[in-house]
């Protein structure tokens, strides 16, 4: 366990990055809490040119009793742990230390070793520490101040939960308890009169594309929450289907992305805008991203960011064919016939552990799926943890029960959340083994153009297929059309 390896140190200093934000304060506080809980002498500190001045952060420190202090020299210690930053990076004051460890979620900017725990696929360092606590058997909810801090850290670094894309971030959000009254105060001490002026000037300068129905808005340097406020406002305009607000900060460009049409998922648009030059993700309707200045300028040395954003939005929209499975007649003349290989996979009958009529959220690494539990609803769990619904009649035609342990190698084990009572079920704990009968035939072919498929079982959200993935239609149901990732298809299907 990563945290336990440092319990041999007697004196530990935890350092947040300069000008610490809510996520740095929360994750640093959590690390302080862990070592203090284990009887170690520990200090929480930060350096830099400026002390904390933002009203919401001062309120956070005061009300949650976060024992952080500003220093110009590092106190004596056996170990220095940087929280929400990396030792030697430009955003954290350098202090000579006898030994260094790092806990962070940003892109790795230095060589890592066994004392580095960097999860750059997570949106906040608060999530990283929350998960580290789980690994050592500590429930962060045992202290309301701690859990509130972590919740607010995640809330702030994910642009008010708009940029959550990894299921662990979502799990942290759903499980952490918080002081609701204090959280309300923290959420409403962010906007200053100066920032109101920034928003006003940005809205006056927005660019609208009439053909593709999108807006791009460039703002002055401001808190990420202001970007969210601006994009939330613009997406309410009747003619605007998607919009992107962005600004440049010392490290690069921060993006806030919105969509109000089902044909464009904001998280996918954000990822497309940042592809090759940054990282983006979030929700179906709200998302965000970050593009490193150095990477952008290397790829586009003579281009303006606003023009690149316009160009990338057009390219994204032009790159997909949209299929509404319920009405679409698939031409199978150039498709080959396949059956599933006899691979042991998992299935779960929803009514075995959930009440009929219960609204549920199925959470997988590929995203969230909303379903209503009904008699005959089965959930299939694939070899990489992918989950898809199937009705009982199709299940009985396509699979038979088997013995053994299903083959699955997943980065994240899928879960189900009861949306009425909030109960969470690990789907792998509920699944049973089964194997394909080899009797159900499908037509399939590799995609030569990206597609978005609105399946017959989910007409509100599409499933994305990229070039090299397979478009599939069942022989016994012409409107059961879906996509299978290319590598998974080759592992699980064989040609008839």
Scan for tokens 């605007």, then name that residue: 240
Residue 141 Cα to chain centre, angstroms:
22
pLDDT band, very low/low/confident/very high, at 91 (cuts 50, 70, 90): confident
pLDDT band, very low/low/confident/very high, at 195 (cuts 50, 70, 90): confident
pLDDT of residue 458: 75
pLDDT of residue 11: 97
Structure tokens at 312: 């990338």
Asked if the model's pLDDT at residue 386 lies above 70, the reply is yes
359-364/432-436 β-pairing: unpaired
Q: What is the pLDDT of residues 12-67, one digit of tens each?
A: 999 999 889 899 999 999 999 999 999 999 999 999 888 887 888 999 999 999 99
pLDDT of residue 188: 84
- Residue of 70, 13, 72 whose CA lies nearest to 46: 70
Q: What is the pLDDT of residues 248-276, one digit of tens each?
A: 887 789 899 999 999 998 888 998 999 99
pLDDT band, very low/low/confident/very high, at 202 (cuts 50, 70, 90): very high
| Mean pLDDT to the nearest integer, 455-468 | 85
Q: Name the average pLDDT for the chain.
A: 90
Asked if the model's pLDDT at residue 201 lies above 90, the reply is yes
Residues 362 and 379: beta-carbon distance below 8 Å = yes
Residue 395 Cα to chain centre, angstroms:
31
pLDDT of residue 363: 81
Q: Which helix (H) or strand (E) holds 427?
A: helix 427-430
**What is the Cα–Cα distance from 17 to 97, expressed in whole angstroms?**
16
Q: What is the pLDDT of residues 353-381, one digit of tens each?
A: 999 999 888 887 666 778 889 999 999 99
Q: Which helix (H) or strand (E) holds 170?
A: helix 167-175
- Residue of 357, 364, 356 whose CA lies nearest to 427: 364
pLDDT band, very low/low/confident/very high, at 279 (cuts 50, 70, 90): confident
Q: What b-and-e string marks burial along 237-267, b requiring 16 or more CB atoms within 10 Å of the CB? A: eeebbbbbbbbbeeebbbbbbbbbeeebbbb
Residues 241 and 261: beta-carbon distance below 8 Å = yes
- Percent of the chain, pLDDT > 70? 96
Least confident of 104-113, 117-126, 301-310: 104-113
pLDDT of residue 433: 95
pLDDT of residue 108: 65
Ranges of beta strands (E only) in 47-201 are 68-70, 79-83, 100-104, 116-118
Ranges of beta strands (E only) in 113-161 are 116-118
Scan for tokens 């939960």, then name that residue: 161
Instruction: Show Cβ contacts of residue 196 under 8 Å, excluding neighbours closer than 6 positions.
Output: none
Return the percent helix, strand and coil in the chain, to nearest 5: 30, 30, 40
Q: What is the pLDDT of residues 426-437, one digit of tens each?
A: 888 999 999 999
Alpha carbon distance, N-terminus to C-terminus of the chain: 48
Asked if the model's pLDDT at residue 163 lies above 80, the reply is no
Q: In the beta sheet, which residues pair with residue 397?
A: none
pLDDT of residue 59: 94
**What is the Cα–Cα distance from 235 to 88, expressed in whole angstroms?**
40
pLDDT of residue 289: 85
pLDDT band, very low/low/confident/very high, at 112 (cuts 50, 70, 90): low
**What is the Cα–Cα distance from 227 to 101, expressed in whole angstroms?**
33
Domains and CATH numbers, the chain: 3-187 (3.90.1640.10), 193-318 (3.10.310.30), 320-342+438-496 (no CATH), 343-433 (no CATH)
**What is the Cα–Cα distance from 15 to 38, expressed in whole angstroms?**
19
Instruction: Show Cβ contacts of residue 303 under 8 Å, excluding neighbours closer than 6 positions.
Output: none
CA quadruple 218, 219, 225, 228: dihedral sign: negative
pLDDT of residue 287: 82
Asked if the model's pLDDT at residue 107 lies above 70, the reply is no
- Residue 76 sits at φ, ψ, to 5 deg, of -60, 135
Asked if the model's pLDDT at residue 111 lies above 60, the reply is no
Scan for tokens 């009529």, then name that residue: 357
Could you tell me which residue, 112 or 333, shows the higher pLDDT? 333
Asked if the model's pLDDT at residue 109 lies above 60, the reply is no
Scan for tokens 């970050």, then name that residue: 290
Asked if the model's pLDDT at residue 473 lies above 90, the reply is yes
Long-range contacts, 4-9 (Cβ 8 Å, 24+): 4/136, 5/114, 5/115, 6/35, 6/79, 6/81, 6/101, 7/35, 7/38, 7/40, 9/40, 9/77, 9/78, 9/79, 9/99
Structure tokens at 428: 């792998």
Instruction: Show Cβ contacts of residue 188 under 8 Å, excluding neighbours closer than 6 positions.
Output: none
The three-class DSSP label of residue 333 is coil
pLDDT of residue 366: 64
Instruction: Show Cβ contacts of residue 360 under 8 Å, excluding neighbours closer than 6 positions.
Output: 350, 354, 370, 371, 372, 373, 416, 417, 418, 419
pLDDT of residue 3: 95
pLDDT of residue 290: 86
- Residue of 159, 232, 230 whose CA lies nearest to 201: 230
């Amino acid at each position: 366990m990563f945290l336990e390896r440092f319990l041999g140190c007697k004196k530990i200093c935890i350092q947040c990055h300069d000008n610490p934000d809510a996520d740095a304060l929360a994750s640093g506080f959590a690390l302080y809490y862990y070592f203090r809980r284990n009887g170690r002498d520990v200090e929480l500190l930060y350096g830099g040119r400026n002390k904390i001045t933002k009203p919401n952060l001062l309120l956070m420190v005061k009300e949650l009793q976060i024992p952080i202090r500003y220093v110009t020299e590092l106190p004596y210690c056996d170990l220095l742990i940087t929280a929400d930053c990396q030792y030697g990076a430009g955003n954290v004051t350098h202090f000579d230390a006898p030994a260094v460890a790092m806990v962070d979620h940003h892109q790795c900017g230095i060589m890592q070793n066994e004392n580095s725990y960097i999860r750059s696929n997570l949106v906040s360092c608060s999530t990283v520490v929350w998960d580290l606590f789980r690994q050592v058997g500590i429930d962060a909810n045992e202290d309301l101040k701690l859990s509130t801090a972590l919740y607010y850290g995640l809330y702030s670094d994910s642009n008010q939960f708009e940029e959550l894309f990894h299921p662990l971030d979502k799990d942290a959000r759903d499980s952490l308890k918080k002081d609701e009254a204090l959280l309300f105060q923290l959420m409403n001490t962010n906007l200053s009169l100066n920032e109101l002026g920034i928003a006003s000037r940005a809205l006056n300068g927005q660019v609208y594309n009439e053909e593709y129905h999108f807006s791009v808005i460039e703002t002055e340097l401001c808190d990420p929450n202001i970007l969210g406020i601006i994009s939330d406002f613009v997406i309410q305009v009747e003619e605007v289907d998607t919009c992107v607000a962005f600004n440049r900060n010392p490290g690069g460009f921060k993006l806030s992305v919105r969509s109000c049409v089902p044909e464009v998922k904001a998280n996918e648009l954000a990822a497309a805008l940042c592809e090759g030059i940054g990282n983006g993700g979030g929700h179906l309707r709200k998302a965000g991203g970050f593009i490193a200045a150095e990477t952008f300028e290397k790829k586009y040395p003579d281009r303006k960011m606003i023009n690149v954003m316009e160009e990338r939005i057009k390219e994204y929209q032009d790159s997909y064919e949209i299929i509404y499975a319920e009405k679409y007649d698939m031409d199978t003349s150039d498709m080959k016939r396949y059956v599933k290989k006899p691979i042991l996979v998992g299935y779960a009958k929803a009514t075995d552990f959930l009440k009929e009529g219960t609204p549920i959220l199925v959470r997988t690494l590929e995203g969230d799926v909303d379903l209503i539990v009904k008699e005959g609803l089965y959930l299939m769990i694939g070899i990489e943890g992918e989950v898809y619904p199937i009705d009982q009649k199709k299940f009985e035609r396509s699979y038979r029960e088997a013995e053994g342990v299903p083959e699955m190698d997943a980065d994240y084990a899928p879960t189900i959340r009861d949306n009425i009572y909030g109960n969470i079920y690990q789907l792998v704990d509920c699944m049973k083994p089964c194997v394909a009968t080899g009797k159900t035939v499908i037509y399939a072919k590799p995609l030569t153009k990206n597609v978005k498929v609105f399946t017959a079982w989910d007409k509100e959200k599409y499933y994305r297929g990229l070039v090299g993935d397979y478009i599939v239609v069942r022989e016994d149901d012409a409107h059961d059309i879906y996509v299978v990732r290319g590598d998974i298809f080759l592992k699980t299907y064989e040609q008839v």
